[in-house]
Structure 1
Amino acid sequence: MSPTFEKAVEALETRIGYAFRDRSHAVRALTHRSAVPGDRVAHESYQRHEFLGDRVLALVIAEMLFRAHPKAEEGDLARRLNQLVRKETCAEVAVALDLGVAIRLGPGERQSGGRRKEAILADVAEAVIAAIYLDGGYEPARDFVERNWRPRMDGLSGPLRDAKTTLQEWAQGKGLPTPSYEAIDRSGPDHAPQFTVRVSIPNGPTGEGRGKSKREAEMAAATGVLVREGIWSADHG
């Protein structure tokens, strides 16, 4: 580990509130595949850590929701879980902890703004969870998730059903076909793209939405239709 990267890991430990006994776990969690020769990607990049961290995160969030909402039905718990483990939420945590500055990237990813890409940030957040889990066990991993995801769990607002699900159920209730989504525009640099998506319901309403990802744009398009049709109020979302 280079002195510069070692300092980055030390600073990261302070930000995340966990000191690694074996820093090789942290190194792996912060190493993007672009920084590793092709035949060593599986062993030296964060891919395997991201896989494990995703599962640890889901378990901890499920446990948190189970305790916090003793009267909630399975469906409600599942929808809350989906909002908390999705890519956008993981990336928000990564930004809050400034994980981007510590990521090891290849030259191409560095030049294209990889430290700010939502997908990479989300993956690294999950990989860091796995690194803590592998280094210290479940308890410190759970503590890390609770510190960083609990405020987001407590702050969940709006409908538990997401906009796309609600619009599909509304269309079915009206005897209309399933809504379809089409990306009609993409603008902005690679590290900060903007997508425009059109949602269409044959013999029904259409709408457009914009977002930093296709999913976000789809949600915005569906939300616009739901608000315009009077199914949701304007402050939902």
Structure 2
Amino acid sequence: MSRKRLKGKELAEAFEQRTGQSFRDISLLDRALTHASAREVAGFDYQRLEFLGDRVLGLVISEMLFKAYPEAPEGELSVRLNALVNAETLAAIADEINLADLIQAGRELRSVTGRKRVNLRADIMEALIAAIYLEGGLEAARNFVHRYWMPRSQAEGAARRDPKTELQEWAHQVAGAAPTYSMDAREGPDHDPLFTISVHVKGHASAIGQGRSKREAEQAAATAMLIREGVWQGPEKVS
């Protein structure tokens, strides 16, 4: 993330050039792109917007899938929804828009890597969706989400099942027993923890995953094992 961040009109113009989305209330955009670590300097941060954006994104994606797959059962729709609103997808879209140099964050977060960087970009995307919703209403938010999420919803593998469920069925087939999970580490502050968890299947090497919650870390570990063992293909690529 850049040390010299754009502000005000320049920030709004840069964002519009990258997304086509304009803002009359530039303060909304500024708030959406300000991390809590910069609150003392900026006087605000994106956390309340993130809360709202998460709900708006869930509604718009649910509606999009409901219309796009009229014959899909609830279970399939839930799988598709979860894949489209997870942190990895949001972070990938943030990268597609090239938001990194527009984010205001404290010094300690300017060079973060790994899972924390994924989570930061995901949070920013949710806050941006809320800002767009407050600026232009549900239709504006819907247009923005459709532009970046629709291609991903149609990608091969978008309806991939929950990895823990998939791994449990595979483990019963190859080992006759359910996989077991163990927590290897818990790092970070209480408001932003990072869990490292290993999954074990009898007769196979363990796999490791990380996440902001135990469940997220377990899912990451299960995914790693499914890919390594050839049950799933490698990480999904989206355009």
Determine the C-alpha separation between the residues in 2 that align with 1:52 and 1:64: 18
* CA–CA separation in structure 2 for the residues paired with 1:71 and 1:160: 17
Alignment correspondent of 2:80: 80
Residue 179 of structure 1 is matched in structure 2 by 180
SS at match of 1:36: helix
Matched residue, 2:68: 68
Q: Which residue does the alignment assign to 2:18? A: 15
Greater CA drift, 124-133 or 165-174: 165-174
Give the equivalent residue in structure 2 for 1:223.
227
Which aligned pairs between 1:126-141 and structure 2 lie closer than 5 A? 126-141=126-141
Q: Using the TM superposition, give the Cα deviation of residue 178 of structure 1 relative to its aligned residue in structure 2, in angstroms.
A: 4.3
* Residues 197 and 217, structure 1, Cα contact 8 Å, conserved in 2: yes
Query: Where do 1:46-65 residues align within 5 Å?
Result: 46-65=46-65
Residue 4 of structure 1 is matched in structure 2 by: 6
Q: How many residues align?
A: 215
Does structure 1 conserve the Cα–Cα contact (< 8 Å) formed by 2:76 and 2:159?
Answer: no
Amino acid at match of 1:25: L
Kindly report which structure 2 residues correspond to 1:154-169, keeping only aligned pairs within 5 A, or say none: 154-157=154-157, 160-169=160-169
Listed one character per residue, the Cα deviations across residues 78-111 of structure 1 (whole Å, up to 9, x for unaligned) are 0010000000000000000011110111122225
- Bigger mean CA deviation after superposition, 138-147 or 61-70: 61-70
Structure 2 distance, partners of 1:162, 1:3, is: 39
2: CA distance, partners of 1:9 / 1:67 = 33
Shift of 1:113: 6.0
Q: d(CA) in 2 for partners of 1:235 and 1:35?
A: 37
Aligned equivalent of 2:204:
206
Which amino acid in structure 1 is aligned with residue 67 of structure 2?
R
Q: Which amino acid aligns with 2:181?
A: S
Q: Are the structure 2 counterparts of residues 142 and 236 from structure 1 closer, same or farther at C-alpha, using a change threshold of 3 Å?
A: closer
Structure 1 segments unaligned to the other structure (5+ residues): 187-194
Any unmatched runs of 5+ in structure 2?
A: 188-194, 212-216
Aligned to 1:191: none
CA distance in 2, matches of 1:35, 1:48: 15
Sequence identity percentage: 42
SS at match of 1:4: coil
In structure 1, give the amino acid aligned to 2:69: H
Distance 1:52 1:216, change over 3 A: same
1:28 to 27, 31, 34: 31
CA deviation string 1:197-218 (max 9, x = no partner): 64213xx333344678645344
After TM superposition, the structure 1 = structure 2 runs for residues 145-156 of structure 1, keeping only pairs within 5 Å, are 145-156=145-156
Structure 2 counterpart SS, 1:144: helix
C-alpha distance in structure 2 between counterparts of 1:33 and 1:15, whole Å: 24
The equivalent residue for 2:192 is none
The CA distance in 2 between the partners of 1:22 and 1:158, in whole Å, is 35
Aligned to 2:214: none
| Aligned equivalents of 1:211, 1:98: Cα separation in 2 | 26
